[in-house]
Structures are given as C-alpha cells and as structure tokens.
Amino acid sequence: MNYDTYGSTAVELAIDLANADLGDPQWVQAFLGSHTEWFTDGTDLGLSAADSGRVGETSSLVREVALAGSDPEVMQRLNALLALASPKPYATDHDGELHLHYARPDADAVEQLTTTVAMGLSQVVVQHGWQRLGVCSADGCGNVYVDTSRNASRRYCSNTCASRSTVAAYRARQRA
C-alpha cells in the first residue's frame, strides 16, 4: 500500500496530531512549529488559548476514530470530526507536484489544520477501511498509526516499539 493511492499524505498530519503530547502546556505551538509545511505561507501560527483548545479537540477526535471498533462507531466519530472541517478543495503544484489542498489558502491556522486532518483521515477510512487505523500494542506507548503494510498486519506504531516488544516477549519466555 502506497500513500500515492490516497491522493494525499494528509493522513500523516492527522496521525501526528493524534500522537502529540497533550500534557505539555506548549504542545500546540510545538506541533504547529514542526508542521509549518502544511500551512499557507504567512499563516499566523500564534494561537489563542481557545484556538489551542480546538486543536486539542481535533487531536482527541482523530484518536477516537482510530480506537473505534465498528462501522457505526467510526461513522459517528468521523462525522464529528468532519463537522469541524470547512473544505474548499483546490488543485495546486506549489511543491512541484500537482495535488489537492482541502482548506481555503487564506483560512486561519485552526481551520486549515482541522480541515486537512478531517479530509485526509476520512479518505483513508473510506477508501481503505477503518481497520487500517490502529493503536500501538507496545506497553506504555498508545500511539495511533495508519497501517500501510500489504496484508494489514501491523501492530506497532514504529520499528522501535516493534523491536522493544519483541525483546520483552523474548525475556518473558526465558523467565518462564
């Protein structure tokens, strides 16, 4: 499975947002600062407390979609996320490749972020199935991931968590 088939890599932004450390009081600024490429040049990334709260809500909704375990659950949570979006798609080649943007280029940072995340995530769910979204099985991790493996067999958010869990399982077997 290739991100090209999504027509968008916006799902990566959604996953990053769901995995942000919401316990850090500066998390919204840190998150925006490390994802500036997703915003139109000149977008004001200095958010009010209320706007930061809205970004937190979007983060939680993405996580809830990944945790959902049935069609009705996924639909209800996805629609809650989509209700926050204001899509106004347009085609662009600003980075040299023709692709779609989902939010108005002059929308504020929250609208750009929420819209891109909601549209990117829904496309993956609709085209590839919600089973492609998961939560890492490694002890104490809890990161959300999108499974792009051929046979949808992924259980961990990263190679780090996969090998950490393999080592832990091996040690547990040796103790037994």
Q: How far is the CB of 37 from Zn ion (least distance, A)?
A: 8
Q: How far is 92 from 123, CA to CA, in rounded Å?
A: 19
Here the contacts of 69-75 (C-beta below 8 Å, separation 24 or greater) are 71/130, 74/125, 74/130
Does 19 engage in binding with Zn ion (CB under 5 A)? no
CB of residue 176 vs Zn ion: minimum separation in angstroms? Answer: 24
Choice from 136, 144, 146, 147 touching Zn ion (CB under 5 A)? 136
161 is a contact residue toward Zn ion (CB under 5 A): yes
Stretch that binds Zn ion, among 56-64, 68-76, 124-132, 158-166 (CB under 5 A): 158-166
Alpha-carbon span 88 to 38, nearest angstrom: 15
Task: Rule CB under 5 A: say whether 13 interacts with Zn ion.
Answer: no
Looking at the Cβ atoms of 125 and 138, the one nearer to Zn ion is: 138
Nearer Cβ to Zn ion (61/103): 103
Q: Which residues contact 85 (CB under 8 A, 6 or more apart)?
A: 102, 103, 114, 115, 117, 118, 119
